[in-house]
Amino acid sequence: MPVANSYDLRKKVMEALDEGESGETVAKRFKIGKTTLYEWKKRREKTGDFQSKKPGSVA
């Protein structure tokens, strides 16, 4: 089962991307998968937020 990442981690990841770091570099630095990083980025572009879905919600 996937582990939920903290809001604080997500915020730091998004800030690093906003500062111009590449997705690959950010993923390595924060030890997250590139797919996860791009899902967060896509969610932020679509909804304006990068938080995870509420537990039990359907995608």
Q: How far apart are CA 46 and CA 42, in angstroms?
A: 6
Would you state the pLDDT for residue 24?
Answer: 95
Q: Is 12 exposed, middle or buried (0-12, 13-18, 19+ CB in 10 A)?
A: middle
**Side chain identity at residue 11, one-letter code:** K
**pLDDT, position 11:** 92
Query: Is the overall model pTM greater than 0.85, yes or no?
Result: no
Q: Report residue 7 as tokens.
A: 């809001």
Return per-residue pLDDT of the chain as tens, 59 residues.
Answer: 456 678 899 999 999 999 999 999 999 999 999 999 999 999 999 988 877 666 555 55
